[in-house]
Structure 1
């Protein structure tokens, strides 16, 4: 599918969780791409219907009344290298490409992995508070939404909003900050009924958890950084533990939006549906989008991005 389309349908309501059917709220999102993909001016804005929304603040965390299915914003499709993420600092929090030394950032291919080994994204309405010392890791939060690794078979599209079930997590310590990586699977995936906790991943996908830890351990080494470390010696924590982490970071987000937290100047809380001091009109939201350059052809990618890196 051509990613240069300025607007596309992202998802429809889905069903199923574990052995019983679960009603999932039906909602449809689209994206509007601005600028040139793989350049510093590239932005992906979100809409619900014809209204602009923030993927950080306006997309609900929970996709069903039972709070057992979660919405997940897909930032990086599996097997791709462009380091895309929700911008917490920009108004309406568009997805944009991370920057390294003034250039668009791409993750290295650390043999035998090509790009990201899962669909990578974020859980909306969560926030890892940089002033909160996590008792599990003895490190503070990284000031971002929770990261999520969606492990289903279908390669995601950037900006897709998927409904997932949480299975577990690993606790990456990234440059002294807690950076939880939530493991989840699309509820429509053929394996979803069999995967209900982190232990099921090893049963149905042997070696996958070890490969996940290895990827996060090594992926920054080609850029000259040391290997990453983990809390719990890299052990993947179970579903119950992970859902508590998700709930805690959702609570931290709620306090952020209710001004029950010291004002973090690096966070834009502008939203179009969440009541509060940071609500903006659709006219203002459209004005934010209009400040980005119009869609343009993709910026060529340096072939060096495809290089294999071998990390001992």
Structure 2
């Protein structure tokens, strides 16, 4: 199973979008049409890379847009770039999401006591390769961190790309601690502090910021898949989410390939990228 992307609009503008296609060249939703499993029997999942490592642009699956293309988050009418909080340069992993998952904002998690954040579940890929924006990778789940973001549960699942030459050495969260010393501590530090330059307080965590193991993480991913199933079949309210898809059987939101193509063609043509603001290279320091 292979996928490709098509850019529309000019990068570093509010109109920029990254649409997805399947192996037949037909447009699909990365949220709804890419299967959660790459290999279900071995618990290997697909992941959509939204933000390549070391970059700053806060790209995300457009959950409220038709076909859910990648787009850059906007805050206060400005494109959002994550600050460099010393010693971290941009994102310190390939950051993305597992398709066909949903953190239900109507469900209060029994472990964290908070509701879901209304997004697909997030992943942090610790592999060596710096992926490209929109790349679909196959990942092995190693553990998870429970970020509490403004009263919502925002799971961060630690994964490694199965194509990484070291993937065979990683089986659980303790392997990350042993083989990549300091990486888990840096991950907690990054999520705790990344919003501070925007004037917000440090983020908090469930479980005192401790990582849960592989089995816990896999169960968490699978539970968000069940929430997504209810969403895509209209058994629960979608709210502002756009569930348009081209390949989910029996989904009331399913559309034709022609309808999907018209969505893409209605967006801006691709063009040269705008310059990135010089402020993106600024470093922030605090204890």
Cα distance change on mapping 1:67 and 1:130 into 2, 3 Å: farther
Distance 2:240 2:217 in 1: 26
User: Would you say 1:306 and 2:281 are equivalent positions?
Assistant: yes
Q: Which of the numbers 168, 171, 176 marks the counterpart of 1:193?
A: 168
User: Would you say 1:132 and 2:132 are equivalent positions?
Assistant: no
User: Would you say 1:243 and 2:249 are equivalent positions?
Assistant: no
Give the CA deviation at 1:200.
Answer: 0.5
Q: Which whole-Å deviations, capped at 9, do the CAs of 1:34-59 have from their partners, x for residues lacking one?
A: 00111100000000021111000000
Question: Which residue of 2 is the match for residue 227 of structure 1?
Answer: 202
User: Would you say 1:29 and 2:3 are equivalent positions?
Assistant: yes
SS of structure 1 residue aligned to 2:55: coil
Distance 1:303 1:214 in 2: 25
Question: Which residue of 1 is the match for residue 128 of structure 2?
Answer: 153
Q: Which whole-Å deviations, capped at 9, do the CAs of 1:186-222 have from their partners, x for residues lacking one?
A: 0111221111000110110011100000000000000
Distance 2:239 2:188 in 1: 33
TM-score (normalised: structure 1): 0.90
Question: Which residue of 2 is the match for residue 274 of structure 1?
Answer: 248
Alignment of 1:10-159 (within 5 A): 27-49=1-23, 50-159=25-134
Q: Which of the numbers 91, 116, 137 marks the counterpart of 1:162?
A: 137
Q: Which whole-Å deviations, capped at 9, do the CAs of 1:212-247 have from their partners, x for residues lacking one?
A: 000000000000000000000100100000011001
Alignment of 1:277-296 (within 5 A): 277-296=252-271
State the 4+ residue runs in structure 1 displaced beyond 6 angstroms: none
> Is the contact made by 1:218 and 1:311 (CA closer than 8 Å) also made in structure 2?
no
> Is the contact made by 1:148 and 1:183 (CA closer than 8 Å) also made in structure 2?
yes
Question: Which residue of 2 is the match for residue 255 of structure 1?
Answer: 230
Structure 1: tracts of 5 or more residues without a match: 1-26
Distance 2:238 2:38 in 1: 28
TM-score (normalised: structure 2): 0.98
